[in-house]
């Protein structure tokens, strides 16, 4: 299934150019992700019981068409990648206006953290199966730790003294 949510544009979602602010795109997409997770077993109560929290590594947003104050939008959610143990996940969003015009897309990569140890952790199998129900993109891939670092070369740590 492709998960989707509909939204009305609020005055507080606009920027100085009187169109949807970039932070509002992130909020609508985040709200869509959380809606899917909550409806599929990732309630606050369950996450507290498991000491789990989601971590966002990046969100790449591509803008194609303005979203204006009078618009209504539909945000979709699909699964672009998932590690076998569910630790790493990649979601893809598409945002459409009320006329069906594709206004933006987003790729979001994240993982799950154990809130006690503060380390990345696998998901319990029952939650991996819930995420796996989500419609997969054509380029879906099984994620590995290495795959989560494919886009950038990062510098090594340095010694600092404060």
How do the domains of the chain map onto residue ranges? 3-144
The whole-number average pLDDT for the span 141-161 is 79
User: What is the pLDDT of the chain when averaged over all its residues?
Assistant: 94
Output the six-digit token pair for 70. 């009078």
Residues 14 and 23: their CA atoms lie apart, in Å, by 9
Tell me what pLDDT residue 119 has.
98
Tell me what pLDDT residue 1 has.
62
Tell me what pLDDT residue 153 has.
67
Total Cβ atoms within 10 A of residue 28: 23
Tell me what pLDDT residue 154 has.
65
Q: Output the DSSP codes for 38-79.
A: HHTT--HHHHHHHTEEEEEEEEEEEE-S---TT-EEEEEEEE
The whole-number average pLDDT for the span 15-39 is 97
Q: Determine whether domain 3-144 maps to CATH 3.10.20.740.
A: no
Tell me what pLDDT residue 4 has.
97
């Amino acid at each position: 299934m492709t998960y989707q949510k509909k939204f009305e544009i609020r005055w507080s979602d606009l920027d100085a150019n009187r169109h949807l602010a970039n932070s509002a795109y992130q909020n609508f997409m985040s709200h869509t992700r959380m809606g899917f997770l909550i409806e599929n077993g990732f309630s606050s109560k369950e996450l507290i019981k498991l000491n789990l929290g989601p971590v966002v590594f990046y969100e790449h947003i591509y803008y194609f068409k303005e979203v204006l104050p009078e618009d209504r939008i539909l945000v979709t959610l699909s699964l672009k990648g998932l590690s076998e143990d569910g630790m790493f996940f990649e979601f893809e969003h598409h945002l459409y206006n009320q006329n069906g015009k594709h206004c933006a897309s987003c790729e979001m990569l994240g993982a799950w953290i154990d809130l006690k140890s503060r380390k990345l952790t696998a998901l319990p199998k029952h939650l991996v199966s819930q995420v796996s129900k989500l419609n997969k993109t054509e380029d879906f891939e099984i994620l590995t730790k290495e795959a989560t670092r494919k886009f950038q070369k990062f510098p090594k740590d340095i010694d600092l003294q404060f």
